[in-house]
Amino acid sequence: MTPVATARSYLFVPGDRPERFVKAQQSGADRIILDLEDAVAEERKDEARRHVAEYLATGGSGIARINATKGRWLDDLLAIRKPGLQGVILPKTGDADDVARIVKHLPDNVKVLPLIETALGMKNVGEIAGAARVERLVFGTVDFRTEMGIEGDDQELLFFRSMLALASRVAGIAAPVDGVTVAINDVAELREACLRGRRLGFGAKLCIHPSQVAEVNRAHLPSEDQLTWAARVVEAAKSAPGAFKLDGEMIDAPVIARASELLLRASRFAA
């Protein structure tokens, strides 16, 4: 299974639908999110918690999105501290104290993925990214747009996506995870959303349906043209110390580092 920090796709599965857990694992998603929050009706929250806890205790694995509601988040954490728990998504993360509050209830090997979906969380995104045990940031675009009154998911969120990418880099954590594309059957829109996220420094994307996983995975890998270019750069650098010119482009240390990173990323997901 792909390490959390390098995962490209995160697939939500409702916590009250245990018959879908294994199917989600088989979807090709790098990580599944066992959802105890938005995907579960209020009257089924306790049932969902039981299903997720049982799954994680009996050989299943996944990240859990807990509830942010006071009184529920602790019940969720205490129930899901099982061997299969790979991480916790914390909704409505507002500051570093929110992260610290749940970390003390988690095993040492389980990290937190703060969900930035409020104005307060965005304001404090730098301190959240730097909090102890944070694996990577997740952008909750739908809830954030609702709170901010923003209509649109493209240029309207450019500044805010850049804030998450910048905060992640400064904190030295993995590239952030972009929000969902709600148009399940629109492959072109999904592909464009993935490419936009990559251009802005995002390393992964949330999926709400198994049909989105393959496209998200492909979009977050270097293209064949990029890999060909990267291989040529790295090979040329072996015999050309310092800066040199390749195909009319000046190549120096930062460009070589970029080429090496592209090849490394592709190798992580080689069949």
Average pLDDT over residues 37-62: 96
Q: Which domain holds residue 229?
A: 224-268
- pLDDT at 175 (0 to 100): 96
Q: Are residues 252 and 158 in the same domain?
A: no
In the chain, what percentage of residues exceed pLDDT 90? 77
Residue 166 CB coordination number (10 Å): 15
Tens digits of residue pLDDT in 201-252 = 999 999 999 999 999 999 988 777 887 887 888 888 888 878 888 888 888 8
Instruction: Work out whether strand 62-65 and strand 85-90 pair parallel, antiparallel, or are unpaired.
Output: parallel
- pLDDT at 1 (0 to 100): 44
Q: Which pTM does this prediction carry?
A: 0.88
User: Does residue 268 have a pLDDT over 90?
Assistant: no
Concatenate the DSSP letters of all residues of 203-220 into one string.
Answer: -EEEESSGGGHHHHHHHT
Q: In the chain, how many domains are there?
A: 2
Residue 176: DSSP 8-state:
P
We report the CATH number of the domain holding residue 146 as 3.20.20.60
Unique residue bearing structure tokens 């909750």: 140
Q: Are residues 165 and 69 in the same domain?
A: yes
Question: What span, in angstroms and rounded, lies between the C-alpha atoms of 170 and 162?
Answer: 12
User: Does residue 129 have a pLDDT over 70?
Assistant: yes
Q: Are residues 237 and 200 in the same domain?
A: no
- pLDDT at 5 (0 to 100): 55
Residue 131 CB coordination number (10 Å): 20
Q: Are residues 9 and 62 in the same domain?
A: yes
Per-residue tokens: 243: 């800066």
